[in-house]
Amino acid sequence: MPSEETVEVIQRELLDWYREHRRDLPWRKDKDPYRIWVSEIMLQQTRVDTVIPYYERFLNQFPTLNDLANATDDQVIKAWEGLGYYSRARNLHSAVKEVAANYGGKVPDELKTISKLKGIGLYTAGAILSIAYDKKAPAVDGNVMRVFSRLFAIPDDIARQSTRKKMELIAEHLIPAHAPGDFNQALMELGAMICTPQSPHCLFCPVQTVCHAFHEGLQDELPRKKKAKPPVQVNVLFAWFLQGDKVLIEKRPDTGLLAGMWALPTVEQQAGESPLRTMEKFCDKKTIPATNYIVKSQLEHIFSHLHWKIVLVQAEVTDSTFPLPEGWEWSELDDLHTKAFANVYRKALKNLL
DNA sequence: AATTCGTGGCC
DNA sequence: TGGCCAAGAAT
C-alpha cells in the first residue's frame, strides 16, 4: 500500500486536475441516482462517444425512474437497439421495476441493497453510491485498473478477477472521504484522457511524480493482460420467408445471444452442407410450407466470441395459415423498422429490402 | 476461473 | 487491414 504522504499527493493532484479538465458529459449535469445508473449501465464496455446519443434519447424517452418502470419491454429494448450487450437493457428494466415496486422509487443507497439489483455488480454499485450519494465505495473499472497498474507498477494480469479484488483494496485505501464521487471519476477520467491504453500522455499526467511505471519507463509494458481467444467461426443461415408484403420474424429467447431481440429465423448449418439443403431441412423441421428457395447474398459478422459466416436464403411461403413456431410472427415489411433488431440483422435486412 | 454476452472506432 | 479495446455482469 502507498504511504500516507503518497496517498495525499494522489488525492490532491487528481482532484485538482479533474476539476479543471473534466469533460462536460450529459450524465454529469446533476447527481440524479437514476440518471447516473442509466449512464453506468450504458457505459459498460462501451465508448463514451457511442453512448452519448443513446443516453440522450433514452433519458428523453424515460426521464424518471417511474417512466422507465412503466415502459414496456419492447419500448426499452427498442431504445437499446444497436448499443449491444442487450441483457443490460433487460436487467436495467427489471431492476428499475423492482426499485419502483419495493423501494418506493428511490434507488438504494447502501452497497448491500443496491448490489442485489439485476445488472449491478461491484463496479456499478460503487459508481452509483459514490457519484450520486457521496459514499466512500470503490468503483474499479478498466480505466482504474490500468491507472493503478502503472501508478504502482503492478504486474498482475488485469484480465483476472483476483486482480480486480486487489485493485479494489487499493481504491478503498485511496478514496478521500470528502470527495469519493469526484475521486472515482477522476481516476476514470485520467485513464480515458491521459493514462490511455496505447501511448499514454505521461508528460501531462498530474500524478507523474509519484508514478512507478513512469520512473521505470514501464508505461508501455503495463498493464499486463492475457490475450482474448479468437472468435469461433460458425456458419449460419438467415431465412427470408416472404408472402406478399409480409415476412416471418423470430423473437430470440430472453437469455443468451441477442436476448429478447427480433431476428430473422436463424439456423446453424453443418459444415459442408449446402445452404439450400439446410433451408430444406429447416422448413421440414418447422413444417413451413415454402418454395422457390434462392440464395440472396452472404455476409459476415464478428461478435466478441463468434464469427458468423451468414447466408441469406429467401423463400416464398405458400400458405400463411400454417401454425407458427414459438416466438415467430408475421411482420409487414413497412413495420420492420419499429421492431428492435440487433445490428447483425439490420445489416442483413439492408441487403434484402 | 473462464466464458459468454455487441458493436464501432482506431491506428 | 485486422487486432485491440471500451465506465462489467452473470454464470
**Domain holding A156: CATH number?**
1.10.340.30
Query: What percentage of chain A carries pLDDT values higher than 70?
Result: 100
The answer to whether residues A262 and A286 belong to one domain is yes
What is the predicted pLDDT for the residue at A277?
Answer: 96
Which domain CATH number covers A270? 3.90.79.10
Question: A277 φ, ψ to 5°?
Answer: -70, -40
Number of domains in chain A: 2
The answer to whether residues A236 and A114 belong to one domain is no
Q: Which of residues 243-302 of A touch strand C (CB under 7 A)?
A: none
Smallest Cα–C1' distance to nucleotide C10: which residue has it? A119
What is the predicted pLDDT for the residue at A320?
Answer: 81
Could you tell me if residue A97 is inside a domain? Answer: yes
Could you tell me if residue A226 is inside a domain? Answer: no
Query: What percentage of chain A carries pLDDT values higher than 90?
Result: 96
pLDDT for A81-105, tens place per residue? 999 999 999 999 999 999 999 999 9
Structural contact between residues A77 and A68, judged by C-beta atoms closer than 8 angstroms? no
pLDDT > 90? residue A245: yes
What is the predicted pLDDT for the residue at A1?
Answer: 85
Domain limit, last residue, from A216, A248, A263:
A216
* Helix axis angle, A161-174 to A142-151, nearest 10°: 70
Q: Is the CB of A54 under 7 A from strand B?
A: no
Q: What is the mean pLDDT of residues A27-44?
A: 97
Structural contact between residues A67 and A42, judged by C-beta atoms closer than 8 angstroms? no
Smallest Cα–C1' distance to nucleotide C7: which residue has it? A43
The answer to whether residues A107 and A240 belong to one domain is no
Helical H segments across chain A, by residue range: 4-21, 33-43, 48-61, 65-69, 73-80, 87-102, 111-114, 122-133, 142-151, 161-174, 180-193, 212-216, 275-286, 343-352
The answer to whether residues A208 and A241 belong to one domain is no
The answer to whether residues A54 and A166 belong to one domain is yes
Give me the active site residues of A, please. 40
- Please tell me the distance from the alpha carbon of residue A290 to that of residue A293, in angstroms, as a whole number: 8
Nearest alpha carbon to residue A95 among A74, A77, A72, A69: A69
pLDDT for A277-332, tens place per residue? 999 999 999 999 999 999 999 999 999 999 999 999 999 999 988 999 999 999 99
The answer to whether residues A34 and A159 belong to one domain is yes
Q: What is the mean pLDDT of residues A45-68?
A: 97
What secondary structure does DSSP assign to A8-75, as a single string? HHHHHHHHHHHHHH----GGGS---HHHHHHHHHHHTTS-HHHHHHHHHHHHHHS-SHHHHHTS-HHH
Smallest Cα–C1' distance to nucleotide B2: which residue has it? A160
Could you tell me if residue A221 is inside a domain? Answer: no
Q: How far is the CA of A200 from the C1' of B11 (A)?
A: 15
Could you tell me if residue A227 is inside a domain? Answer: no
The answer to whether residues A98 and A131 belong to one domain is yes
Q: How many CB atoms lie within 10 A of CB A251?
A: 17
Q: Is the CB of A320 under 7 A from strand C?
A: no
Q: How far is the CA of A5 from the C1' of B10 (A)?
A: 39
What is the predicted pLDDT for the residue at A102?
Answer: 98
Q: How far is the CA of A267 from the C1' of C7 (A)?
A: 35
Q: Return mean pLDDT, chain A.
A: 96
The answer to whether residues A107 and A134 belong to one domain is yes
Could you tell me if residue A223 is inside a domain? Answer: no
Q: Is the CB of A51 under 7 A from strand C?
A: no
**Which nucleotide does the CA of A85 lie closest to, via C1'?**
B6
What is the predicted pLDDT for the residue at A289?
Answer: 96
Which of strand C's nucleotides are less than 7 A from any protein C-beta?
3-10
Could you tell me if residue A224 is inside a domain? Answer: no
Smallest Cα–C1' distance to nucleotide C5: which residue has it? A197
Structural contact between residues A36 and A132, judged by C-beta atoms closer than 8 angstroms? yes
Q: What is the mean pLDDT of residues A175-181?
A: 98
Could you tell me if residue A197 is inside a domain? Answer: yes
Q: Is the CB of A123 under 7 A from strand C?
A: yes
For the record, the C-alpha cell of A64 comes out as 424518471
**Which nucleotide does the CA of A347 lie closest to, via C1'?**
B7
Domain limit, last residue, from A183, A216, A249:
A216
Could you tell me if residue A118 is inside a domain? Answer: yes
Range of the domain at A63: 4-216
